[in-house]
Amino acid sequence: MSEFQNIGLVGRTESNSAVISLKRLMIFLEREGYSVVLEAETAKAVSGHGVRVSSKDKLGELCDLVIVVGGDGSLLASARALAKFNVPLLGINRGRLGFLTDITPEQVEEKVGEVLSGKYMAESRFLLDMAVTRNGKPIGKGSALNDVVLHPGEFIRMIEFDLFIDGQFVYRQRSDGLIISTPTGSTAYALSGGGPIMHPKLDAIVVVPLNPHTLSSRPIVVEGSSEFKIIIGEHNIAKPYVTCDGFEQVITELGDVVHIHKKPHRLTLIHPIDHNFYETCRTKLNWQVGN
């Protein structure tokens, strides 16, 4: 008997192709005798299903495995909601790049069937917690699997801030912002900003300046246990935003303090047994494969 009996499904509901894959997956799972639970918003896009429906939070309590049908953004949202329940996630790619959702729609029955029979790889990924305080009082928070980003928000202006790591002053910077990225996020926005690709197994965090005013400012890789403090400069015209995975956001005021550290709950990502990180990089980033 499979260790996964109650399977939660989350889908990118605005995508017709994702809905088609969801229906195909539901037929397969029910035919194989698994109990299917649809996330509430997903259920609205899949009519006439006749299966249990649950909020995304409750999926973590009800399910042994959650399958996300969509792009990396869909999986990121599920990761933020479900990490605290220690329920593993499996991704089926109906997005564009697909670093995290690595099963293609054509492989649904074959690869999901292999996973459910115990043929899979499990990876542990850490997330980041972010909180903003104003005069010592909390005003907003969020979590991220990819990255926490400080940026100008509505205005295209440089912003000034002070960065501290583990209580030690690093620098005062004027730039378009700062990316604090996990290894998972190193192939996302941080890569576009000139940061290094980090293997997912690394216990490290990369700090990537966004278009810094000084050319000597470079990405820094630090321990995963590091704690970050960013103080918003008193002379900014713009009110910088802090976003988590490009989704959850807090608008700051001058003098606000942004705190970032590793989340205590980790995420388990499930991959097919033949998953290879370097092959994924070759495919997604168009690396050369030799003569």
Beta carbons of 267 and 183 less than 8 angstroms apart: no
* CA nearest to 261, candidates 220, 224, 222, 232: 224
Burial 98-118 (b: 16+ CB within 10 A, else e): bbbbbbeeeebeebbebbbee
245 is catalytic: no
Contact at 8 Å (CB) between 178 and 161? yes
CB 236 within 8 A of CB 160: yes
- Considering the candidates 57, 64, 72, 166, report the single residue annotated as catalytic: 72
Residue 147 annotated as lining a ligand binding site: yes
Q: Is 188 annotated as a binding residue?
A: yes
Alpha carbons within 13 A on the beta-carbon side of 222: 18
Residues in contact with 58: Cβ distance below 8 Å, sequence separation at least 6, in sequence order: none
236 is in an annotated binding site: no
Residue 150 near residue 241 (C-beta atoms within 8 A): yes
The answer on whether 187 is annotated among ligand-binding residues is: yes
73 is in an annotated binding site: yes
Give the separation between CA 114 and CA 5, rounded to whole angstroms: 14
The tokens 């690396």 sit on which residue?
Answer: 287
The DSSP element (H or E) to which 164 belongs, if any, is strand 159-165
Q: Is 203 annotated in some ligand binding site?
A: no
SS3 content of the chain, % helix, strand, coil (to 5): 25, 40, 35
Q: Annotation-wise, does 116 bind a ligand? A: no
146 marked ligand binding residue: yes
276 is in an annotated binding site: no
User: 223: how many CB neighbours lie within 10 A of its CB?
Assistant: 12
Known binding residue 192? Answer is: yes
> Is 189 annotated for ligand binding?
yes
CA distance readout (Å), 271 to 89, 91, 94, 249, 259 = 9, 8, 16, 30, 32
Question: Which residues are part of a known binding site for NAD(+)?
Answer: 72-73, 146-147, 157, 174, 176, 187-192
The set of catalytic residues is: 72
From the annotation, which residues make up the binding site? 72-73, 146-147, 157, 174, 176, 187-192
